[in-house]
Amino acid sequence: MLACILSDMDTKPTFCIVFMCCVCLVKGYITYIAIRLPLQGQRSAPGSPWPYPKEIKSETDVLSLDIANFEIRSKITGCDVIDKGIARYKAMLGFGAKDETLLTVDDLQIHVENTSCHTYPYLGMDESYTLIVDRHATLRANSIWGALRGLETFSQLLYTSATGKVIINKTRIVDEPRFPHRGIMLDTARHFIPLPVLFKNLDAMSYNKFNVFHWHIVDDQSFPYQSIRFPGLSQKGAYSPVHVYSQTDIHTVLEYARLRGIRVIIEFDTPGHTQSWGKFDRNLLTPCWHNGKKGEAKYMYHGEYEIMNPMLNSTFTFLEELFSEVTSVFPDDYIHLGMDESYHHCWASNPNVGDFLTNFLGLNASDFSGLEQYYIRRVLDILSNTKKKAIIWEDPIEKGLKADKDVLVEVWKNRQDWASNMENVIQKGYSAILSSCWYLNYISYGQDWRKYYECDPHHFEGTAQEKSRVVGGEACVWSEYVDATNLLPRLWPRASAVAERLWSPAHMNNTDDASFRLDQHRCRMVRRGIPAEPILNGFCGDYEVKNSRSTNTGSTVLDGSSVLIYLGMFLFLKFYLQ
């Protein structure tokens, strides 16, 4: 379209082309703007789902939907996951009118084999489903979690015609995820993320079939978790009394996530990243020494007090009580214990640490890695006694820790060349989660989603049996430069690229083709209230026009279509009425 405007306008025929472009844009037939180079890849059909299903067969026959009379039915009674899921998705379907010239999809019948409902989602839950769209659509799943994924897919198959009517192709889908662990990690300590934004992000996760919210809830900067046993942790460690997640808040997040089939895995990172803990009890942290003085900082090396103090039994008694509480609050089988970036400068500065290493542990006075492993093994034992399983970052394994093989290891280092890190973890017999290539807090100009789409957790040297121990991956957002103002547009739709890599078959890896489906899915998320950033030039639809109308002053901001119309009228007057 812009190519028309920018071309030679000395002749009258060129102007006609410009005006025709304007008319096309008003009707919404043209979506993509390519000034010089054509967009590569296969254009996606309207109503193309994201992430792409395992098997899909779409027919040319189309049906419409009369939202006023359309019913979603299930024989499961008293299941809030299904009941609220049906209500939620039915509300999403009413974005257009019925096409009177077409037959309609009258209902969607949900059949679930295992009707167990009053439970939380878990690692390895069955998310498979079969969806058949016809006059009487059917959704079959083995579990309520699979039913939720099928409802999401059905909602994505609907689209609007050129006349604004809701239509859907007759379709058959057989689907299941490639990996069981598909997560988003959010850091809420460096910047506090308010509940409404967390809820909106959980919505977006469900639209992309993510099933894990990895909640990095505390760090050096703040301690916003409100502890029942130790309320002083947040009273002294949070940024303010407002910047706290109360027990009521946490329960609300857990329920909001459960109803969308999303696990909440909490992370309490130790022995490093614990500066805020010391605001509650300084004895939890190791005193650092400088110039022969206790509690003195050394710039660029250590603070005054930092990294948990493994010399005191009271440290582990405190952790036993805290983790006893945490494991009762968070229902998932796993707790993330962090264990990354345990820098040893403070330990090395403290003369008492060397004595503890030699006299109590029987190690060399400078074996700080041995001290770190001593601490980690004790904390792993504490968690094991609560009957929970641990996830840790890869650092301790890299340093030679020998942990139980049920410990999940998250590979995060070497963003450009993570394969050797993964091989190291897998070859030592551990199961792994990949996050190295999916740090979405990093940004760059252009379509950087492509590099996330091209990263595959199985792209390392290993046998099929070894690769089977990769349980999935996580897109991570560290919040040094992220807060409620920019979290969602930074995550979406870039995280959607990760979602397809973790859900869809491995052969679904053509980035050019995916760009059209992702752009369509981005528009879908925008229509649902997610401020996902654009990835291609063009427009999504009426939402842009509607959002440009001011309700406060009565003035109207011109949308792109109007601008082109007025430009066409101006050129008409200039060239034809001279």
Give the C-alpha separation, 350 to 303, whole Å. Answer: 12
Residue partners of 196: CB distance under 8 A and separation at least 6: none
Please, what is the angle between helix 195-207 and helix 247-258, to 10°?
10
Beta bridge partners of 107: 71, 136
Give the C-alpha separation, 455 to 441, whole Å. Answer: 16
pLDDT greater than 70 at residue 560: no
* CATH code at 55-175: 3.30.379.10
Beta bridge partners of 285: 308
Please give the C-alpha separations between residue 65 and each of 27, 147, 152, 156, 443, in angstroms, as whole numbers.
22, 20, 16, 13, 40
pLDDT in tens, 443-475: 999 999 999 999 999 999 999 999 999 999 999
223-255 burial code (b ≥16 CB/10 A, e <16):
bbbbbeebeebbeebbbeeebbbeeebbeebbe
Give the C-alpha separation, 574 to 567, whole Å. Answer: 10
Confidence band for 210, pLDDT divided at 50, 70 and 90: very high
Residue at token pair 């119309």: 565
Q: Which residue in 159, 143, 147 sits closest to 108, CA to CA?
A: 147
pLDDT of residue 61: 96
Active site residue 55: no
Lowest mean pLDDT among 35-44, 148-157, 471-480: 35-44
Give the C-alpha separation, 90 to 71, whole Å. Answer: 8
Beta bridge partners of 391: 336, 408
pLDDT of residue 545: 54
CA–centroid distance for 104 within its chain: 35
Confidence band for 164, pLDDT divided at 50, 70 and 90: confident
Q: Once rounded to an integer, what is the mean pLDDT over residues 488-516?
A: 97
Neighbours of 400 (CB within 10 A): 10
Confidence band for 548, pLDDT divided at 50, 70 and 90: low
pLDDT of residue 37: 64
Q: Helix (H, G, I), strand (E, B), or coil: what is residue 555?
A: coil
Supply the DSSP string of 34-55, one letter for each residue.
-SSSPPPSPPPPTT--SSPPSE
pLDDT of residue 6: 31
Please, what is the angle between helix 368-384 and helix 351-359, to 10°?
70
Residue at token pair 């939402």: 543
Contact in structure between 229 and 117 (CB atoms under 8 Å): no
CA–centroid distance for 336 within its chain: 17
Lowest mean pLDDT among 1-15, 48-62, 224-238, 401-415: 1-15
Q: For the chain, what are the domain ranges?
A: 2-39+538-576, 55-175, 181-510
Residue at token pair 């409620």: 484
* CATH code at 181-510: 3.20.20.80
Beta bridge partners of 138: 109, 132
Contact in structure between 291 and 267 (CB atoms under 8 Å): no
Contact in structure between 310 and 371 (CB atoms under 8 Å): yes
Omega prior to 177 cis, within 30 of 0: no
Contact in structure between 264 and 298 (CB atoms under 8 Å): no
pLDDT in tens, 525-538: 999 999 999 998 88
pLDDT greater than 50 at residue 491: yes
Confidence band for 151, pLDDT divided at 50, 70 and 90: very high
Contact in structure between 439 and 415 (CB atoms under 8 Å): yes
pLDDT of residue 3: 36
pLDDT in tens, 340-394: 999 999 999 999 999 999 999 999 999 999 999 999 999 999 999 999 999 999 9
DSSP 8-state assignment for residue 300: T
pLDDT in tens, 89-116: 999 998 889 999 999 999 999 999 998 9
Q: Once rounded to an integer, what is the mean pLDDT over residues 222-247?
A: 98
Residue partners of 248: CB distance under 8 A and separation at least 6: none
Give the C-alpha separation, 67 to 111, whole Å. Answer: 21
Q: Helix (H, G, I), strand (E, B), or coil: what is residue 110?
A: strand
Q: Which of 113, 341, 461, 480 is catalytic?
A: 341
